[in-house]
């Protein structure tokens, strides 16, 4: 149970490491995987009590935000980002995350650092309400510098068929409710690294960039159990321009009213240094909005009220109109 499949023999026999991993993973087990399966993680679907379940799967990494972890020497939050990227994708169709697996690859084995990373993953899993059921720790000298590692995450969720959200209910006149991001989340860092010096990124500025990605599972799942939501877009790489069209039916487009929400000055600083147009900025960064919900105008205030109870600010940032694409006003 909870075996972490270490990619190299000496990790498989490193009992202290495996014991620590198991303890971290155990904290996340709120729907108890079965106590068997030496090579794989088993999960009992019946315990979820979903009559007609659709399985939903997502995978993602955290990209070059990893560099910020390295530069600031802070490795215990990047795992939160890893979980966030996958589970925030899952909930866009209304699915509840049930379990998570991670892939951790490094050039050299550093037990302390590895456990810090996985501590973050476990923390993210608790926040997302999903069980960390396994992972792979691969040591690949030559592929990664000793001080470098990469991460991939994989989440599975489940949604009752009649409650799955696909975006096909979206219609002209619907409102767009933007949910505040916790900063840059996990996108745009290849650009950020070009604009700021290593010194800046190792200090205060680096720590601002490193702030973990907001996990929207609890507020959004609570909200959709109470208010009819027609579509959900997770604003990741490609910003509004690439992500909103993924859920809007053909013949419809979205109009965004800039100025309806506060934008962290750090986005402005990035724009200034990059000499980016607004369009470029909105094509790369979330600009303060981590998730966009599409819903009928008359339920906007109720939705905002529910989200606020979970500490999430939200703003009516635009509307669905006829046409195609994304328009910034």
Q: Nearer Cβ to a copy of itself, position 144 or 310?
A: 144
CA dihedral 204, 210, 215, 219 (to 10 degrees): 20
How far, in Å, are 60, 166, 182, 190, 324 from residue 285 at the CA level?
17, 24, 12, 11, 21
> β-strands 231-234, 131-139: how paired?
unpaired
Q: Nearer Cβ to a copy of itself, position 89 or 127?
A: 89
Least distance to a copy of itself, CB of residue 305, Å: 26
Least distance to a copy of itself, CB of residue 55, Å: 4
Interacting residues of 303 by C-beta distance below 8 A, sequence separation 6+: 177, 223, 227, 229, 293, 295, 314
H or E stretch covering 153: strand 149-160
Q: Nearer Cβ to a copy of itself, position 39 or 265?
A: 39
Least distance to a copy of itself, CB of residue 204, Å: 22
Q: Nearer Cβ to a copy of itself, position 249 or 263?
A: 249
Closest to 186 measured CA to CA, from 147, 135, 235: 235
Q: Nearer Cβ to a copy of itself, position 230 or 236?
A: 236
Q: How many CA atoms lie within 13 A of 48 on its CB side?
A: 22
Least distance to a copy of itself, CB of residue 309, Å: 25
Least distance to a copy of itself, CB of residue 221, Å: 14
Least distance to a copy of itself, CB of residue 264, Å: 20
- Residue 304's CB: how many other CB atoms inside 10 A? 17
Q: Nearer Cβ to a copy of itself, position 190 or 313?
A: 190
């Amino acid at each position: 149970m909870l075996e972490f499949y270490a990619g190299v023999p000496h990790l498989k026999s490193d009992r202290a490491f495996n014991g620590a991993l198991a303890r971290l993973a155990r904290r996340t087990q709120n729907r108890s995987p079965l106590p068997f399966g030496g090579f794989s993680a088993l999960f009992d679907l019946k315990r979820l009590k979903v009559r007609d379940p659709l399985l939903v799967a997502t995978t993602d990494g955290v990209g070059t935000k990893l560099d910020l972890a390295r530069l600031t020497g802070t490795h215990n939050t990047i795992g939160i980002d890893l979980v966030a990227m996958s589970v925030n994708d899952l909930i866009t169709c209304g699915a509840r995350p049930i379990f998570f697996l991670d892939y951790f690859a490094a050039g050299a084995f550093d037990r302390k650092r590895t456990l810090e990373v996985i501590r973050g993953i476990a923390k993210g899993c608790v926040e997302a309400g999903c069980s960390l059921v396994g992972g792979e720790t691969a040591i690949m000298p030559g592929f990664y510098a000793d001080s470098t590692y990469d991460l991939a995450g994989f989440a599975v969720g489940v949604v009752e068929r009649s409650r799955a959200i696909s975006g096909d209910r979206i219609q002209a006149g619907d409102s767009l409710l933007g949910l505040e991001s916790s900063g840059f989340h996990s996108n745009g860092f290849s650009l950020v690294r070009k604009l700021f010096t290593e010194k800046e990124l190792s200090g205060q500025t680096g720590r601002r960039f490193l702030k973990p990605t907001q996990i929207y599972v609890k507020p959004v799942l609570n909200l959709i159990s109470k208010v009819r939501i027609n579509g959900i877009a997770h604003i990741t790489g490609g910003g509004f321009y690439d992500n909103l069209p993924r859920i809007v039916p053909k013949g419809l487009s979205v109009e965004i009213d800039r100025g309806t929400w506060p934008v962290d000055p750090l986005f402005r600083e990035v724009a200034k240094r990059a000499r980016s147009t607004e369009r470029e900025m909105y094509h790369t960064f979330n600009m303060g909005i981590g998730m966009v919900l599409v819903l009928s105008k008359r339920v906007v205030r109720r939705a905002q009220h529910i989200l606020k109870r979970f500490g999430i600010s939200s703003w009516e940032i635009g509307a669905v109109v006829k046409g195609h694409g994304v328009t910034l006003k």
